[in-house]
Amino acid sequence: ERGGFKHFMLKEIFEQPRTVGDTIKGYVSRDYLLPFNLRDFRRILILACGTSYHAGLVGSYWMNKYLQTPVEVMYASEFRYADVPVGERDLVIAISQSGETADTRYSALSAKEKGATVLSLVNVMGSALDRESDYTLYTHAGPEIGVAATKTFTSQLAVLYSLAVSHLPDRDRFMEKLSSVPHMMEEVLGEAEQIKKVALKYANRKNMLYLGRYLSYPVALEGALKLKEISYIHAEGYPAGEMKHGPIALIDENMPVLVVVPRDRVYEKVLSNIEEVLTRRGSVISVGFRDDETLTKVSKDLIGVPEVDEDLTPFLTVIPLQLFAYYIADHLGLDVDQPRNLAKTVTVE
Ligand code: M6R
């Protein structure tokens, strides 16, 4: 059932071109369309936990850019006790792979009680959140067995992107661009052996810092979460621009810094963060565009992905981070699919 793969997680990472493709197919036509326009709401509040929260963060950047409706993202576990004013003119988007996460469900229910419209984004049809929401959209990723979420993250991205552009007059053009993603994901997966080689150099480290800015910031958070949960190596994801406000104190020759740095609007800024790391003798592993000569010069290791429109970079840059964590955990002989202390579905508060 693992289809020749050593672990479900690896199988699920490799399934992504297909699962993202299947999800896009569900949203290319307008059939799924909701009976409301996202722009009709006063504000959009995205609630989720863990990896689903990271997908929500990426989605918020797309929505801010294309919808011009204020969008906020909050951990569902924080929202519940935070007295956030919510009302009838708010749309709550609750994101959950399982649709059973207690914090996400109860947050959505309380928002609904206060009059908000709840749209959920789930992978499991018929799950509690699916039943409890006003509307549901599905991520057509198929069952995810590995405790570490991988393919559901990229499917959540596909739905969120489709939503963010759904009202645009040239929506079809955006969806066409999105449709080119699965093929490029294949290309990234084709580099798995090289990614493994890079990863194994860092398998014995105790700490790592992951940096990214703009759309790559949530990707950095997601990469660090993957490394923590399956390899038990302490990894911290941070917005690259915030490094100088504290974490820079951690950098010395013992601190590997993984930087997600595609050529996008903040590229130059992130390059100067890389310089700051180098000045303090930190070693830089960068995930960027594969033909990037500048990056090659400043990085100890560069993991390249195909060049793509900046909007779509998270689909590609997250894959090397998933594989990086996987290969390290497997090398350390750990139980990749069932890491200690974790459950696939967290139904306790
Ligand atoms: O089923 P959900 O998407 O609601 O789960 C949320 C988190 O528990 C989940 O993403 C968790 O962080 C994963 N283990 C991450 O890999």
**Per-residue pLDDT tens for 178-223?**
999 999 999 999 999 999 999 999 999 999 999 999 999 999 999 9
Using the atom order of ligand 1, give the atom closest to the CA of residue 148: 16
What number is the average pLDDT over the span 278-302? 96
Band of the pLDDT at 346, cuts 50, 70, 90? confident
- Protein residue with least CA distance to atom 8, ligand 1: 50
Other CB atoms within 10 Å distance of the CB of residue 34: 14
Q: Mean of the per-residue pLDDT values for the chain? A: 96
Nearest alpha-carbon partner for 320 in 175, 201, 199, 178:
199
CA–CA distance, 211 with 62 (Å, rounded to integer)? 20
> Strands 135-138, 43-48: parallel, antiparallel or unpaired by DSSP?
unpaired
pLDDT value at residue 34: 86
CA of 174 to the centre of ligand 1 (A): 28
Confidence of residue 270 (pLDDT cuts 50, 70, 90): very high
Predicted local confidence at residue 30, as pLDDT: 75
For residue 307, give both structure tokens.
């060049």
Complex ipTM value: 0.99
> Which is higher by pLDDT, 347 or 229?
229
Q: Is-above-0.95 flag for pTM? A: yes
Say if residue 31's pLDDT is above 80: no
Q: Whose CA is nearest to atom 16 of ligand 1?
A: 148
To test ligand 1's pocket by mutation, which of 101, 322, 341, 344 has the most ligand atoms within 8 angstroms of CB?
A: 101
Work out the pLDDT band at 8, boundaries 50, 70, 90.
Answer: very high
Q: Nearest Cα to 105, choosing from 123, 118, 89, 87? A: 118
pLDDT in tens, 292-345: 999 999 999 999 999 999 999 999 999 999 999 999 999 999 999 998 888 888
